[in-house]
Chains A and B, each alone.
Chain A
Amino acid sequence: MKDLKKNYRESFTAIKEHKSAINFSQQAIDNAKQQLVASYEQWYEETFEDPVLKEAPKTA
């Protein structure tokens, strides 16, 4: 019984650690995705011209 309880406590600690690792990985993925999107938006603005800034066509 004592051994079982010891094993249970050890497994419980290990599970908590794995849950933390999962949260950390999920957070890292979310951060990297946000960074990718932000970086892409910046690249898009730098690479392609904004039609609003184009000169308006002259009217006769």
Chain B
Amino acid sequence: MQEWEDYDEQNDEEIQKAEEQAMIAKMQRASKQKGDKRQKIDKNVAFAEYKQTEEAKALEETIIQCRRDLTNSREELKRKTESINLIKAEIDQARNFLEAKAAKKHESAIHAAKDPGFSSGGFDDSPDHRAEMIDEEELAMIK
């Protein structure tokens, strides 16, 4: 048969007492807190007061730091945008040059096609036999 431990009723009373004391202390704290409350004041005035607390100071510091980061990032973005626009302008300039060259070559090819034949040296100077020439300036641009 199982043996049961003696039930200590005094222990139970002690727990109950402790719980009661804790509850009373909690009520006293709540009552004290309620008593500490002040008359409502203007919210702007209250905000100025709140800003003096440690929590508000920490949050404000975070905001200031983020604003600093934002300003720096915006300045850097502005610099990079100016730089990329310059690069784009250079690319456009090079592209225009190459397109103009290509157009000139095409025009020459059409002109030569209208007047096919052999050169005075007896070489075939027809457009099909003419090698495409790229001058140094064009090569530098392509590179």
Contact = CB atoms under 8 A, between A and B. Distances in A.
Given A14-B80, A39-B56, A25 B63 contact: no
Given A36-B63, A48-B39, A8 B77 contact: no
Contacts of B62: 28, 32
A12 B39 CA distance: 58
Contacts of A1: 91, 94-95, 98, 141-143
B70 A39 contact: no
Given A18-B76, A25-B70, A36-B63, A4 B40 contact: no
A19 B63 CA distance: 19
B41 interface: yes
Given A11-B84, A28-B66, A44-B43, A36 B60 contact: yes
Interface string A1-45: 110110110011011001101100110110011011001100110
Given A8-B91, A49-B39, A33 B63 contact: yes
B87 A29 contact: no
A46 B63 CA distance: 24
Task: Determine the interface band of chain B, counting residues with CB < 8 A from chain A.
Answer: 35 or more
B118 to A, nearest CB: 38
Instruction: Tell me if A's interface is mostly helix, strand, loop or mixed.
Output: helix
Contacts of B67: 25, 29
A47 B94 contact: no
Contacts of B46: 44, 47-48
A25 B77 contact: no
Contacts of B50: 40, 43-44
Contacts of B60: 36
Interface of B: 33-34, 37-41, 43, 46-47, 50, 53, 55-56, 59-60, 62-63, 66-67, 69-70, 73-74, 76-77, 80-81, 83-84, 87-88, 90-91, 94-95, 98, 141-143
